[in-house]
Amino acid sequence: MKSIRLITWGAVFIALAFLGIRMLTNPAGLDHGTEAPIASGPGGPFTLTSHLGEKVSDTDFEGKYMMVYFGYSYCPDVCPLELQKLTTSLLELEKEGYDTSIIQPVFISVDPERDTPEALSEYVPLFHPSLIGLTGTTEEIEAVAKQYKVYYAKRESDDIDSYLMDHLSVIFFMDTSGNYQRLFTTRDKPDNIVDALKPLLKRVS
The smaller minimum CB distance to Ni ion, of residues 48 and 75, is found at: 75
**Interface with Ni ion includes 79 (CB under 5 A)?**
yes
- Please answer whether residues 164 and 57 qualify as being in contact, where contact means their C-beta atoms are separated by less than 8 angstroms: no
- Please answer whether residues 38 and 26 qualify as being in contact, where contact means their C-beta atoms are separated by less than 8 angstroms: no
d(CA 195, CA 34): 29
Residues 122-161 touching Ni ion, rule: CB under 5 A, are none
How far the first Cα of the chain sits from its last, in Å, is: 59
**Interface with Ni ion includes 78 (CB under 5 A)?**
yes
Piece of the chain touching Ni ion by CB under 5 A; list 50-58, 75-83, 180-188, 189-197: 75-83
Q: How far is the CB of 38 from Ni ion (least distance, A)?
A: 27
**Interface with Ni ion includes 6 (CB under 5 A)?**
no
- Please answer whether residues 86 and 69 qualify as being in contact, where contact means their C-beta atoms are separated by less than 8 angstroms: yes
- Spell out the residues 6+ positions from residue 92 whose beta carbon is closer than 8 angstroms to its own: 190, 194
d(CA 90, CA 101): 10
Q: Which of 17, 24, 48, 75: binder of Ni ion (CB under 5 A)?
A: 75
Q: How far is the CB of 144 from Ni ion (least distance, A)?
A: 16
**Interface with Ni ion includes 7 (CB under 5 A)?**
no
Piece of the chain touching Ni ion by CB under 5 A; list 65-73, 104-112, 151-159, 190-198: 65-73
**Interface with Ni ion includes 83 (CB under 5 A)?**
no
DSSP 17-41: HHHHHHHHHSGGG--TTSS-GGGGS
Q: Give how far Cα 47 sits from Cα of 139, 140, 174, Å.
A: 12, 8, 16
**Interface with Ni ion includes 71 (CB under 5 A)?**
yes
The smaller minimum CB distance to Ni ion, of residues 77 and 161, is found at: 77
Q: Which residue sits closest to Ni ion, CB atoms considered?
A: 75
Piece of the chain touching Ni ion by CB under 5 A; list 69-77, 85-93, 99-107, 135-143: 69-77
**Interface with Ni ion includes 19 (CB under 5 A)?**
no
Residues near Ni ion (CB under 5 A) are 71, 75, 78-79
